[in-house]
Amino acid sequence: MNKNEIIVFETNLLGRHEEKYLKMGAQFGNPFDKQGNTYAIPTVDITLKRKLPLSLIKIYVNKFLNYAYDRPDFEFFVEEMGCDSMYKKCIMAELFEEAQEIKNIKLPKGFLAELNKEY
């Protein structure tokens, strides 16, 4: 990865990140914000068993979108997040809908497919 490329990943409120993100600079115990070549967005509570409410996840996503907009020197690669038995991909993709207007944010193919569906 280049130093200006940032992976945006989901985590938990304890900041217990997967090893691959720790190797890219994520800080153990830090559940949110840019850390090295990563940007953490919490989607799971402190029990590590329950998803956060969508309203709270949306607050974190909006903070990320504002950060990315203000940092055109970085390129952000968003991973699919929160898409499991708790939330459907279409619901999570909707949280990132505004990201399509921010040039330095790259959404995952699954989110783009959901956002560009015609109903």
Q: pLDDT, tens digit, for every residue of 3-28?
A: 999 999 999 999 999 999 999 999 99
Q: Could you state, in order of their start, the residue ranges of all structural domains in the chain?
A: 5-104
Is pLDDT at 119 greater than 60 in this prediction? no
Q: Which of 38-42, 64-68, 85-89 has the lowest mean pLDDT?
A: 85-89
Q: E strands of 13-116, at which residues?
A: 33-35, 38-44, 75-78, 105-106
End-to-end Cα separation, the chain, in angstroms: 37
State the Cα–Cα distance between residues 2 and 16, nearest whole angstrom: 24
Q: Within its chain, how far is the Cα of 21 from the centroid? A: 13
| Res 85: pLDDT | 63
State the Cα–Cα distance between residues 111 and 81, nearest whole angstrom: 9
List, in order, residues 6 or more apart from 30 with CB less than 8 Å away.
15, 40
Q: Which of 12-16, 64-68, 86-90, 96-100 has the lowest mean pLDDT?
A: 86-90
Amino acid identity for residue 57 in this structure = I
Confidence class of residue 83 from pLDDT cuts 50, 70 and 90? confident
For the question of whether the overall pTM of this predicted structure is more than 0.75, the answer is yes
